């Protein structure tokens, strides 16, 4: 088989490619595989040594691949015997999340300020219990680590009427708080903030997520009772 046919991946010849050990050129070891090449012996009949390895199994048993991995099985090309758990700091997952369309930077979502338990609703705290990189839309001015200042939209509530007949209208749906996605890499646990009003006071940016949302329960009956 010509090298161009292998590198070009002729689907009709895949069985031959994966089933003929002759393509290894006698230079394969249990802990590493080198790239395919046409010439495995020179004119003197001496085996040509490989210059590099693309697959290496290290002392910990981890497979290290220096090239692209192509898969030709159409259904479930990747699977696992147990459901994998990925760490939020996994660089592969971080890169994947950037490539998959999601909430854009400065996009806004309605996030529940509660967690459903057998006893009712448990209140969540910001930023301990909320998605990384998201902050409540409470009108504060944020000072980021790189010197950038961001004014958050105030999407909490508005109060109208007189002192005796005030009416408060919440922007978020019951049981939720509007949150905005900050630029990539911002650690919401290290943010400093000031109020966006005339006095511009420094304020701690943490606490119950319910504080900046709609405190009404989205449920009816006893289940909607707040048990925090």
**Are 118 and 188 in the same domain?**
yes
The pLDDT score that the predictor gives to residue 109 is 97
**Are 156 and 62 in the same domain?**
no
The pLDDT score that the predictor gives to residue 174 is 94
Residue 119, in any domain of the structure? yes
**Are 192 and 127 in the same domain?**
yes
What distance in Å separates the CA atoms of residue 208 and residue 87, rounded to the nearest whole number? 25
**Are 63 and 118 in the same domain?**
no
Nearest residue to 110 (alpha-carbon basis) of 161, 174, 48: 174
Residue 86, in any domain of the structure? no
Peptide bond into 62 cis (omega under 30): no
**Are 75 and 120 in the same domain?**
no
The pLDDT score that the predictor gives to residue 73 is 85
Choosing from 58, 79, 100, the residue where a domain stops is: 79
**Are 36 and 118 in the same domain?**
no
Residue 189, in any domain of the structure? yes
Nearest residue to 127 (alpha-carbon basis) of 225, 212, 214, 196: 212
Nearest residue to 46 (alpha-carbon basis) of 27, 21, 24: 27
Residue 69, in any domain of the structure? yes
**Are 115 and 192 in the same domain?**
yes
The pLDDT score that the predictor gives to residue 128 is 93
Task: State how far the alpha carbon of 170 is from the alpha carbons of 86, 107, 112, 116, in Å.
Answer: 36, 19, 14, 22
Residue 103, in any domain of the structure? no
**Are 8 and 51 in the same domain?**
yes
Range of the domain at 68: 3-79
- Tally the domains of the chain: 2
Residue 65, in any domain of the structure? yes
Residue 58, in any domain of the structure? yes
The pLDDT score that the predictor gives to residue 222 is 55
**Are 74 and 113 in the same domain?**
no
**Are 123 and 207 in the same domain?**
yes
**Are 150 and 215 in the same domain?**
yes
**Tens of pLDDT, residue by residue, the chain (228 residues):** 344 444 444 556 555 555 555 555 555 556 667 766 655 666 776 666 766 777 877 778 788 888 888 888 889 999 988 899 998 789 998 888 888 888 999 999 999 999 998 877 899 999 999 998 899 999 988 887 777 888 999 999 999 887 778 899 999 999 999 999 998 878 887 777 777 665 666 777 889 999 999 999 888 665 555 555
**Are 209 and 153 in the same domain?**
yes
Cross-strand partners of 158: 169
Residue 179, in any domain of the structure? yes
């Amino acid at each position: 088989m010509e090298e161009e046919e292998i590198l070009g991946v002729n689907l009709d010849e895949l069985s031959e490619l994966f089933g003929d050990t002759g393509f290894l050129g006698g230079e394969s070891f249990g802990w590493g595989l080198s790239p395919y090449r046409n010439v495995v012996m020179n004119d003197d009949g001496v085996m040509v040594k490989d210059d590099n390895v693309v697959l290496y199994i290290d002392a910990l048993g981890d497979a290290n691949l220096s090239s692209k991995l192509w898969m030709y099985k159409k259904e479930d090309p990747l699977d696992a015997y147990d459901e994998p758990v990925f760490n939020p700091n996994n660089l592969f997952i971080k890169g994947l999340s950037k490539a998959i369309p999601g909430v854009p930077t400065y996009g806004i979502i309605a996030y529940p300020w509660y967690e459903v338990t057998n006893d009712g609703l448990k209140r969540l705290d910001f930023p301990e219990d909320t998605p990384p990189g998201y902050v409540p839309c409470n009108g504060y001015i944020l000072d980021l680590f790189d010197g950038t200042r961001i004014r958050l939209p105030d999407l909490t509530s508005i109060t109208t009427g007189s002192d005796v007949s005030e009416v408060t209208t919440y922007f978020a749906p019951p049981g939720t708080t509007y949150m905005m996605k900050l630029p990539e890499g911002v650690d919401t646990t290290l943010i400093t903030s000031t109020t966006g009003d005339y006095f511009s006071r420094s304020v701690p940016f943490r606490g119950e997520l319910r504080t900046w949302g709609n405190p009404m329960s989205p449920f009816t009956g006893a289940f909607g009772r707040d048990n925090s």
